[in-house]
Structure 1
Amino acid sequence: MDDPEDVYPLLKSYEGRPAGSGRGKDPVNAPMIRHWCEAMGDANPAYAGADPVAPPTMLQVWTMGGLSGPIGRAAAYGELLALLDSAGCTAVVATDCEQEYLRPLRPGHVITFDSVIESVSPRKTTKLGAGHFVTTRTDIRADGEPAGTHRFRIFKYAPAKASAKASANGSANASAEASVKDPGESRAARPRPVVNRDNAGFWDGVAERRLLIQRCDACGALRFPWLPGCGGCGSPEWTAVEASGAGTVFSYVVVHHPPFPAFDPPYAVALIELAEGVRMISNISGVPHDRVRIGMPVELEFVRVDGGQLLPVFRAPASQAAL
């Protein structure tokens, strides 16, 4: 059946109900740490030797059930998914996850966990289709002590149906129609940036037309993108500092395919090295895509796109367009 307006209160009633609980199949152990590090190409000496710690990003691994299926899934979570299926939201895609680390995990730690259905969003319409975002929160313990939190978000949706016209005419005609479309005609909205507790300060700065990067309070290293801790010394203490906005093109690509409704290929996407030494990805404005060059100087500007979203981009000097 279709997803009626009155189904959302029923979906929302599942918030706060258990999604699962259990005990990890194996204690934290050195072989699994080694296999993870080999797969990830991570040679950090902290994860090897006689007294290794587990990479923090393995947090969820210790709760996985493997090929035999999830451990201790609660009935409420299955009921919620079945309800979404009955509302026509039969497809699913994982969208993102967030992790918070409270203590290092070492071989021998016994892992237990409890999961809860944290939130069910109102009906959302995306390029994939219309449906609901479901977020679960898993609190993980090591030998009974809090070790971390894992939030996992999926999108359960009804797949968007291709129009009969597109099916009949084929992609060639669709491309031809796009090429003669009125430039003033509205198009799909740009994807919105994901704002979370780790990067909210950066987007607060953008709203004030300031480009903020992080400086580690312990070792002084600058970093971007925003992270909860220093990749050099590991300190969680940092200060936001404003970048000058000057930079150069360190590398770039010209995107031709696949086309995305919110953009008009070809266009250049560059890795910008800021004067402060950190790098960030940005569109290049002010010059055609085929005039972008490595080493080209660029300056920060802020542009407002559809929906009022303010974004930082980099503009090449007008003199570069004629080169």
Structure 2
Amino acid sequence: MDDDELAVRLRAFEGRAAAVAVRGKDPVNAPMIRHWCEAVGDTSPAYTGPDAIAPPTMLQAWTMGGLSGHADRTGAYDELSDLLDEGGYLSIVATDCEQEYLRPLRPGDEIVFGTVIESVSGRKTTKLGTGYFITTRTDIRVGGELVATHRFRVLKYAPAAARSAGIPVAESSAPRAEDRRISAPRRPRPVVNRDNSVFWEGIRDHRLLIQRCTGCGTLRHPWIPGCNACGGAGWDTVEAGGEGTVYSYTVLHHPPFPAFDPPHAVALVELAEGVRIVSNVVGTPYDKVRIGMPVRLEFQSYDDELTLPVFRPVAS
């Protein structure tokens, strides 16, 4: 089976249901919410008391089938996965997810969900190897009302190491443009979605924007759909002044990645405004970075498409 035939067969899966009217194994419940909040250290009062809601980030927890799985799956996703296995794309990695919340879930809600294979990409070459991105969309309902949507994307791929070892992988007769373009390593691209697009627009304009709740005024980073202090959905922004200190840091030695030159330090910088951001400290050796080091915001361009906020030590 050549690459063109595989592509046709893969596209036939788009729009097929992977699960239909599956009932969650448990109602939304206070003990699960409590365990979740304790695990992540979230002390928001929105998740306790008689008017408690479930943390939005728990959305996938209510649809999980556990070790025994769900009996109402159609088998379409397994068929798709088997087809890619036959083509030599044996490895899989989750790449990103996107969630949309239409109303909060509350203890006692019984969810019913359906999953559809929304899209299968054309053949893509990545640093991991060559393969196909599969996107599924899960619609979660309570009493027939759509309350949330969860999109999940994976890459089903043949590792680059497998190619060099001669493991068969479906190929087209001519080299693809994306294969020819991969020569110099590039920094990974950030995942830009509806929740953080304003942040990245600010970075392109050399402005570090912090999300601020319009209900209680709490600043937050990274950007999320709702306030983790009061649960409010409204927000605006304030621009960071640029002053900060290294709150914590780690030095990465392994695994090596072509776009980076290990060892290098990754720092958690506490801005003067009180929020913290993960970034790099530039202008000093990795072994000179220290907790409490004062730093100043800069913007560094890595190519025509990518600019990132970085921090430089303030000269004493």
TM-score class, shorter-chain normalisation, is 0.7 to 0.9
Within 1, Cα distance between the matches of 2:95 and 2:125?
Answer: 14
Q: When the two structures are superposed, what TM-score results if normalisation uses the length of structure 2?
A: 0.83
- Is 1:221–2:245 an aligned residue pair? no
**How far off is 1:41 after superposition?**
5.5
Q: Flag structure 2 segments of 5+ consecutive residues without an equivalent.
A: 166-182
Q: Check conservation: 2:46, 2:230, Cα contact below 8 A.
A: no
Q: Which amino acid aligns with 2:10?
A: L
Instruction: Tell which has more relative contact order, 1 or 2 (C-alpha 8 A, sep 6+).
Output: 2
The residue number in structure 2 matching 1:235 is 232
| Residue 295 (structure 1) aligned to one of 292, 297, 316 | 292
Q: 1:60 to 1:290 in 2, by over 3 A?
A: closer
- Is 1:198–2:195 an aligned residue pair? yes
Superposed CA offset, 1:241-282 (max 9, x none): 221222222222222333222211222221212222211111
Q: Check conservation: 1:64, 1:71, Cα contact below 8 A.
A: no
Query: For 1:85, what is the secondary structure of its paired residue?
Result: helix
Superposed CA offset, 1:118-153 (max 9, x none): 222222222322111111111111122222111111
**How far off is 1:92 after superposition?**
1.6
- Mapping for residues 235-254 of structure 1, pairs under 5 Å: 235-254=232-251
Q: Greater helix share, 1 or 2?
A: 1
Within 2, Cα distance between the matches of 1:150 and 1:163?
Answer: 33
Within 2, Cα distance between the matches of 1:226 and 1:58?
Answer: 17
The residue number in structure 1 matching 2:17 is 18
| Residue 267 (structure 1) aligned to one of 257, 264, 268 | 264
Equivalences, count: 298
Query: For 2:222, what is the secondary structure of its paired residue?
Result: coil
The residue number in structure 2 matching 1:102 is 102
Q: Which amino acid aligns with 2:306?
A: Q
Q: When the two structures are superposed, what TM-score results if normalisation uses the length of structure 1?
A: 0.81
Identity among equivalent pairs (%): 65
- Mapping for residues 62-211 of structure 1, pairs under 5 Å: 62-161=62-161, 187-211=184-208
Query: For 1:60, what is the secondary structure of its paired residue?
Result: helix
Q: Which amino acid aligns with 2:272?
A: A
Of residues 77-86 and 192-201 in structure 1, the stretch that sits farther from structure 2 once superposed is: 77-86
Bigger Rg over Cα? 1
- CA RMSD, Structure 1 to Structure 2 (Å): 2.7
Q: Flag structure 1 segments of 5+ consecutive residues without an equivalent.
A: 166-185
Within 2, Cα distance between the matches of 1:247 and 1:106?
Answer: 39
Q: Check conservation: 2:265, 2:281, Cα contact below 8 A.
A: yes
Query: For 1:67, what is the secondary structure of its paired residue?
Result: coil
The residue number in structure 1 matching 2:178 is none
Of residues 60-69 and 270-279 in structure 1, the stretch that sits farther from structure 2 once superposed is: 60-69
